Structure formats: structure tokens, C-alpha cells
Structure 1
Amino acid sequence: MLKGKKILLVVCGSISFYKSYEILSRLRKLGADVRVMLSDGALEFCNESGFEALCDHKILSSRTQDWQEGLSHINYAKTDLILIAPCSVNTINKLASGVCDNVFMQTLIASKAPLLIAPAANHNMLEHFSTCKNLEFLAQNGAQIIEPVVKTLACGDVGKGGLADIETILYHVKRSFCKQIFKEKKVLITGGATTEKIDEVRAITNFSSGKMAKALADAFFYAGADVSLLTSVKTQDVPYKVRNFTSSNELLGLLKDECKDTNLLIMCAAISDYISEEKFDGKLKKNKLGKNWSLKLTENIDILNELKDFKCRKIGFKLETDVSIAVDSAKKMLEQKGLDAVCLNVLREENKFGSDQNEISFITKNETINLQLASKEAIATKIVNLSNELR
């Protein structure tokens, strides 16, 4: 996604400057061609040599500007993306006002590249009316703001002023290079296994890892969607909304809450077909159950049927192990559940539970498209494009 992309990493005077070293390293590992520019404020915390050790290019600053060597605001403004991380309040306000009093500001204003701004400062400075107004102005003119996080700041105050997590910043960088085909669309994705209690220590569940759902959530985020991921798997450091569930009833409750304004629902969660008919308090004792014990199961709720009144597009996932009946089973699901598409997954050794690969047949009323074995990330990107074609 970032291979060969030219990115200018801009570092401002902030105590979180040290995180820009890792940002630089991570961007390069993802294949990006990264240049670095330091503000005069950043030079109070660090120097050019530290970044030169991680970079293939000379570092641009007021101390290194050299037209003969190509270290100029014109050359460094020619880039595919500008990422300001961390971005100081001073830079936010000067950039919004068009102040162009040094090579640092000249470079920012000379560039027509997309702009990503990750602020990091004392929360009172970020909440000042001038900063708020200028951030809003920059956003209205195309800049993408990566929201700071609430934390204990270097000054000892607690507030929303910490630099966003590096993973979150990288998500936004990747998003900048993707077609925003789902911009202003809400996409709801479910993933992972349901766990249905028998007693306080035992449950009925399955081996779903939730990896496919996570890959889908990532891919739809990159495509510009407002993503909500409902998952039974603990998920951290993502830029979209995550809500966790355990049982199918909990999942249904979350779905009814989230589906109200959803454009597309993707049911990737592995839901138990049966649950225990009786719920036992405490822990069942083996010495009381005896050598042989039968657990009576009852059919679980049909979640998709419960959601039939919601008029969003719906895509279901179907897992089969018998290839001879798989397609017919998926087409039957498509019709009976009133779905727009079914992603059929025939389990094999190459795409077994927990695998990082998958192979999907994307089935609609009119056609079947086979997505050959590939990484789940690659499969997810193809599903995003196919979902965009649903009418």
C-alpha cells in the first residue's frame, strides 16, 4: 500500500518528538520513501543526525537548508503526502494563517500534497479558541486531523493532548493512499466466536479467530467508511469503533443498537447454532453428574432473521467443510436470509481456523466470483470493492 510512496514526515517542537523516530522506521518498513523536516522548535529537543541514521535522505531544517544540495522548500514540498507528527500548536496556528517566515513553513505552504496533522500539546493550548478555530479551518480545507488522546501529559496535567498511538497514525497514512469509495458510509462488521454459557465455568463456542473480521474492518476503514467492529476478540490500537460481545444475545443487542443508521452490515461472526436449553447456576459437579451426563441443546436465535426490518445492505459469511454441497448451501442462505451477498468459505488446511490466509467465493443472485487463496488482508480489500458494486 505504501511501497514507493513519497512521504514528508514533519516534526514539530513537542515532548513527544521521540515517537517520530518510530514513525519514520515503521513507514520505511512499509516501503515508503520518507523524507524528514524539523521545525526550529523540534531542534530544541533533537538534531538532524538522529533522523539521518534512519533516513535515506538529508534532513531539512533551518540549519541545513542548501539549494545546491536540493535541501529546499521547493524540493521537499514535492511529495505524495505530508504527515505532521507531532504537530505543535504554533504550527497549527501559523499554517492556518498562512505565515511563511522560515523554510519549515515555506515547505508546508508550497506543497499541494494531502496533509495529515497529528497534534500533541498541552490540552489547554489545543482547546484555546484560536487553535480550535484553526484546526476546524484546516479540516475544512482538506487536512485530516488525527485526534490526540487523553493521558497524563509531560506537564503533569491530565487532558486530551497526547500524540495519537503510532498504529492509529499509520492507519490514517494508509487510508490517505486508498480510494475513498465508502466515504460517509457506515459499515458494521461482526467477528469472532460467540460463547454460550452452560454454567459459570463451561460454555459452547467454536474456533473462529476473528482475523477475517478484523481484516475487513481495516479494509473498509482504508476505503473511507465509518467502521464499527463488533467482536468477541480483544482489539486494540485501531482508529475505528470497537464493541465487544460474548454471547449471541449480547451480539444481537449491539446489532440492534448499531444497525439503525448503517449502510452495510457484514456478518462475519461465528454464531453458535445451538445453546444449552438449561442454564446452571454455579459450577456443575462431576461427582453429582455421574459417569454419563447428557446436555440438552436447543436451537439458537437466528440473528439475521431478527434484523430483517433493518434496510441496510447485508452480507453473510458461510463456512462449509464439504465442497460438494458448499455452493448450494450458500445460495440457499442467500435466498432464505434475504442477503445481498454471501461469502462462502470452504475450510481446508490452507485456510483453517486461525490461518492468516483465506479463500472466498463471493456469491450474489447473479454471479459467483472466486477469490483465490491469499492473505486475509488481500481478500478483505477485494470484498470491499465487490461490496461497492452491490445494487
Structure 2
Amino acid sequence: MNIVVGVTGGIAAYKTVHLVRLLIKAGHDVTVVPTEDALRFVGTPTWEAISRHPVTTSVHDDVARVRHVALGQAAELVIVAPATANTIASMTAGLASDLLGTTLLATEAPVLIAPAMHAEMWRHPATQSNIATLRERGVHLVGPADGELAGGDSGPGRMSEPEEIFAAAQALLAPGDLAGLRVAVSAGGTREPIDPVRFLGNRSSGRQGTALAAEAAARGAEVTLVAAHIDAAILASARHPSVAIVRVGTAAELGSAMKDAAASADVVIMAAAVADYRPARAADHKLTKEEGVLDRVDLVENEDVVAALAARRAEGRAPERQTIVAFAAETLTDAEQRRERARRKRERKGVDLLAVNLADAENGFERTDNAVEIIGEGGAVVAEASGTKREVAGTIWDAVRMLR
């Protein structure tokens, strides 16, 4: 496998020499990309001797091969060890001030970071916020460990040992548990036009659906992501060679795209917030108060997309053993009432699993975290998850795997 190892300016860089040796002994082709500060701790000759590749920090070397992009494009895994607080902040901001930064922006491969810093820096709210953002984007973490740090103090922030980082890298390179599955995921919120400037919509950001698509791809699935009005920065978190994105606007467009994708999908997850109703007629010009037409909008009901997909499966118009997962955003604050409503909805829609979450002004939509309960056969709560939406996605896929 082609692996890029990024090394940043921390004393733990000396451990990364052993990590590179472990990777090479396992048969991987390793290119080391240090920062200028990293070379203050371990010099260029060491990295070149151990990796058997030229080492540079500059985006201006090997310009003919467009090396600052080519490294990331060719990588099958990128490891950053140690990942300092400054590097983590730069990754979060998407900075490309050196060869490592451009490599991280250009890659579609899994990224594994091994944080290393003083305990106070690790616990700082800015670092914790950056870590949460990277996790949401699908970046994998190993460590940090709790132990003795440079300077004699101790606490969380010690870089994991090379053997532990190597094991995490090997796990990411192994075939995923969803390999061979074809997956269709919907995400975002539909918009139903009233006129050219107004629409009926909802607050869905699409974060949970894109996280589900990204997690499935990382675990080996081939994914079709049907995306309704998702911000480009959020949609970018699902960027992966195994993810095909289909953009839609209205509930009807989403329904059509999901039927096409579901026709050959082993798993269908309806995470999009689909409008239940649409205006009976969409005006071709902006409606005005002067015309007296804004005091009433006649609505008609949209098709229940997930119920329609379940019906098509029952009719034999889907792959054998197709699994369908629905979502229910509820505002009931009583947990048992929320579960009961979710149980009824699961039965009514004819799906295998239903993930229910509290969605109000403080929870659910437009948040980076989520908390769900997954209702399965007989109304049982088969799993619970809370944390970043990527972490919740992992639990949902674990529940799907239990059914297959």
C-alpha cells in the first residue's frame, strides 16, 4: 500500500522513525512528508534513509510532477504522527502552507492522526473543538495516551506508541466490513417552491446523512448519496472515490433519485428531511401582497418516499434481503413517548430499522452532535448512540451489519 506519513514539530517525532520502519517491514511503500519544524527534531537524512524516498517540505520541488497534489492523490492512507495542536488547527482550517498541508487537502484516502502535545493544550476548548470537527469529517484518531510528557509533567497528550499507531493503520487498510455492499443514502432537506424566491423547507443541514455515506465508504461500501440542499463544506465531508453524489431539490426529485439508487442497493438509509407537503401550484413569478395571493397557499401531500421504497421491496423490485433504515425526528421530550411513536412509525412505513432522535431548538438539526435510539423488530431498542454525527453513523452501520 502507498502510505504518506506526515511528521510535525514535536519531540515525539523520534518515535515516528520506528513507525515508518514498521510500515516498511509490513510491505508498504512509505513517503515521509515532514514540516520544517519537524526537521529540527529528526533530520532529512534519517527520513530518506529509512523510507528510501527523497524528502522535502516544499511545494516548489518536483513541480513537473505536481508533487504537492500527486502525493495526496496517490496515497491509500495518510498518517500524521505526531499531530501537534498547531497542525490539528491547520487541518481544521484547511490551510495549505506547506507540502503536508497540500497533501492533506488533495487526498481522498483515509487520514489517521496521532495527537501529541502538553495536557493543557489538549484540554483547551479550541483543540477539543478542532478534534470534534476533524472527527465529523471522518479523520481517524489514535490516542493521545495519558502519561509522562516532555518537561517532566504528565497527563493526556502523550503520542501513542508506534506499535499502536501501526495497528490502527493496518485496520484502516484492511477490507471494510461493508465491502461488497451497494448503499443508497439520502441527506439534507428538500425545498418545495412557492414562487421563484420562496419555498417550504426545513432546518436539516445534511450532516447526519453525509456522515452515514462517508462512514459506509470508509468501511468498503459503494455509495450513492442523494443530496438535497447541503452546504458545500458539509457535502465535502463525504468526498470519497466510492461515493457518487446525486443532487436534488424537491421531494419528488429526491423520491425519483432514491428509487433509481434503491433498485440495485443492498442497504437504503433515508436520512433526508423530506417535506410532507408541497404547494399545489408554484407561481412562475414572485407573488406580492398587492396581488392579494400571499394569505393562502394550497398544499398537497407528497409521496412518503421511504414507505414507497419499502413497498417496492415487498413487490420484489429490489435486491433480495435489502435492508431499509428510516429516521424520525421527534419533538417529544418524554423518551418513552418518543419510542412509542417511533415504533408505530417503523411498523407503518415497513422498514427494518428506525433511528429516532430529539429534534428541537437545541437538538438534532444544524448541530454537529446527535443522539439516537435505533428501533428494530418488535419495537426493541437494538442500539443507542450519541456523539458526533460520524460516531452515530458508525453505530447505525453496526446495527445494519447485525441484520445482514
Normalized against structure 1, the TM-score is what? 0.61
| 2:126 matched residue in structure 1 | none
Q: Check if 1:321 corresponds to 2:334.
A: no
Match of 1:330 in 2: 342
How far, CA to CA, are the matches of 1:170 and 1:329 in structure 2?
38
Give 1:183's match in structure 2, choosing from 179, 186, 191: 179
Are residues 56 and 341 of structure 1, via their aligned partners in 2, closer, same or farther at CA, if it must alter by over 3 Å?
A: farther
Shift, 1:55, TM fit: 6.0
Q: How far off its partner does 1:246 sit?
A: 0.6
Deviation at 1:373, TM superposition (A): 3.2
Measure the CA separation in 1 of the matches of 2:189 and 2:400: 23
Matches within 5 A, 1:64-75: 65=49, 71=50
| Amino acid of the structure 2 residue aligned with 1:303 | V
Cα deviation per residue 1:152-177 (whole Å; 9 max; x = unaligned)? Answer: xxxxxxxxxx9895351345995963
Which residue among 233, 252, 256 is the counterpart of 1:253?
256
Aligned equivalent of 1:277, options 273, 277, 280: 280
Aligned-pair Cα RMSD in Å: 4.0
Aligned mate of 2:37, from 53, 58, 71: 53
- In the superposition, relative to structure 1, how do residues 186 and 24 fare at CA in structure 2: closer, same or farther (>3 Å)? farther
Rounded to whole Å, the distance in 2 between the matches of 1:56 and 1:254 is 54
Q: Secondary structure at the match of 1:177?
A: helix
Please point out which of 216, 222, 245 is paired with 1:226.
Answer: 222
CA distance in 2, matches of 1:176, 1:246: 40
Partners of 1:244 and 1:353 lie apart in 2 by 20
8 A contact 1:51–1:59 mirrored in 2: no
- Identify the match of residue 308 of structure 2 among 306, 309, 329: 306
Query: Counterpart in 1 of 2:372?
Result: 360
Deviation beyond 6 Å, 4+ runs, structure 1: none
Which residue of structure 2 aligns with residue 44 of structure 1? Answer: none
Contact 2:76 2:110 in 1 (8 A): no
Cross-structure match for 1:68: none
Do the aligned residues in 1 keep the contact of 2:184 with 2:224 (CA within 8 Å)? yes
Q: Which residue identity is paired with 1:257?
A: D
- Greater Cα radius of gyration, structure 1 or 2: 1
State how 1:72-221 maps to structure 2 within 5 Å. 165-170=105-110, 177-178=171-172, 180-221=176-217
Q: Which amino acid aligns with 2:217?
A: F
> Quick check: 2:227–2:247 contact (8 Å CA) kept in 1?
yes
Distance change in 2, residues 1:171/1:316 (3 Å) = farther
Shift in alpha-carbon separation, 1:286–1:177, aligned structure 2, 3 A: farther
Q: Distance in 2 between matches of 1:379 and 1:64?
A: 41
Which whole-Å CA distance do the structure 2 matches of 1:54 and 1:254 have between them? 48
Measured after TM superposition, the shift of residue 187 of structure 1 is: 1.4
CA contact (8 A) 1:9 1:24 kept: no
SS in 1 for 2:236: coil
Instruction: Tell me the equivalent position of 1:152.
Output: none
Aligned residue pairs total 280
Identity %: 23
3-state SS of paired residue (2:109): helix
TM-score between both structures, scaled by the size of structure 2: 0.59
In structure 1, list runs of 5 or more residues that go unmatched. Answer: 1-6, 11-22, 38-47, 66-70, 77-85, 90-116, 121-142, 147-161
SS at match of 2:367: coil
Change (3 A) 1:169 1:24: farther
Aligned-partner residue type, residue 207 of structure 1? R
